[in-house]
Amino acid sequence: MEVKPHYTAISPVLGELKWIEAPSDSLLSKQLGWIDFLKKEWMDKFIDIRQGFTAVSILWNTPDDQQAFQNQIRKFKVRPFDLPSRTWKIPVCYDPDYGKDLGALAISHRMTVNVLIQLHSSVTYRLHFFGFLPGFMYLNGLPNQLHTPRKSVPDRMVEAGSVAIGGSQTGIYPKESPGGWHIIGRSPITLFDPERNPPVWGVPGDQIKFEPIDIEEMEKLLEKPPFPQY
């Protein structure tokens, strides 16, 4: 049975759909279903839609648009969106040269570096949405054994392409940035290119798999950072 999300008006023109459940593939397909519905049925009524793990927010053109949506929400029949089946292969060099926290993280989890790499690169992750920085993907699916509290003192500078673990998440820094996650490797791929339309290659619902590469391959790919393949 489809449980309807709760809609809350935050300001006269801003509101959000909220689900009281943990992030999952099934919740994501419901969120994407609502976004698809909004884009088809309410296209000229909103300025902006934003998506998080358990909410979808809508910035309306006018207070009347929000009011109309709220008045009719009970009647809407919104089908969950079928998640895409493609899986992007993301090359990652898990070498201490690129993953400066790899050793310490392995020790803190009482495992070898090889087991850590194996755990991180053996599963597929689901791309839920972009946020934090242009092109930063929020991924779900980090194995429990790798969940790690964020650093108490963030690094002043994390290199672009750094693959990192923070809390129950893993992600890739699309550009140089301060950051509080543990750096375990680096990917040579381009995550965001403002000259391209769209500037990112993935869409919410896509799957991501990290593929270990050695230093030689990494250096070759860094000369001409590619977009990934699926």
Tell me how many residues contact another protein (CB under 8 A): 40
40 binds another protein (CB under 8 A): no
Question: In this structure, how many other beta carbons lie within 10 angstroms of the beta carbon of residue 163?
Answer: 25
CA atoms within 13 A on the CB side of 192: 16
Distance CA 39, CA 41 (A): 6
Comparing CB distances to another protein, the nearer of 169 and 207 is 169
23 binds another protein (CB under 8 A): yes
Q: How deeply is 144 buried, as exposed, middle or buried, from its count of CB atoms within 10 A (0-12, 13-18, 19+)?
A: exposed
Q: Are 45 and 69 in contact (CB under 8 A)?
A: yes
59 binds another protein (CB under 8 A): yes
50 binds another protein (CB under 8 A): yes
37 binds another protein (CB under 8 A): no
Which runs of consecutive H residues, i.e. helices, occur in the chain? Answer: 25-41, 63-72, 102-108, 113-122, 215-223
Distance CA 87, CA 71 (A): 39
52 binds another protein (CB under 8 A): yes
What is the CA angle 129-134-138, rounded to 5?
Answer: 30
206 binds another protein (CB under 8 A): no
The nearest distance, CB 49 to another protein, in angstroms, is 7
Comparing CB distances to another protein, the nearer of 81 and 94 is 81
Q: Which stretch binds another protein (CB under 8 A): 55-63, 77-85, 180-188, 221-229?
A: 55-63
Distance CA 190, CA 226 (A): 6
Comparing CB distances to another protein, the nearer of 88 and 129 is 129
By CB under 8 A, the residues from 124 to 143 that bind another protein are 129-136, 138
Query: Amino acid identity, residue 93?
Result: C
Q: Are 88 and 125 in contact (CB under 8 A)?
A: no
Question: In this structure, how many other beta carbons lie within 10 angstroms of the beta carbon of residue 61?
Answer: 13
18 binds another protein (CB under 8 A): yes
178 binds another protein (CB under 8 A): no
Comparing CB distances to another protein, the nearer of 76 and 132 is 132
44 binds another protein (CB under 8 A): no
Query: Amino acid identity, residue 5?
Result: P
Comparing CB distances to another protein, the nearer of 98 and 129 is 129
The nearest distance, CB 4 to another protein, in angstroms, is 17
Chain residues in the site for another protein (CB under 8 A): 8-12, 14, 16, 18, 22-23, 47-57, 59, 129-136, 138, 167, 174-175, 192, 194, 198-200, 204
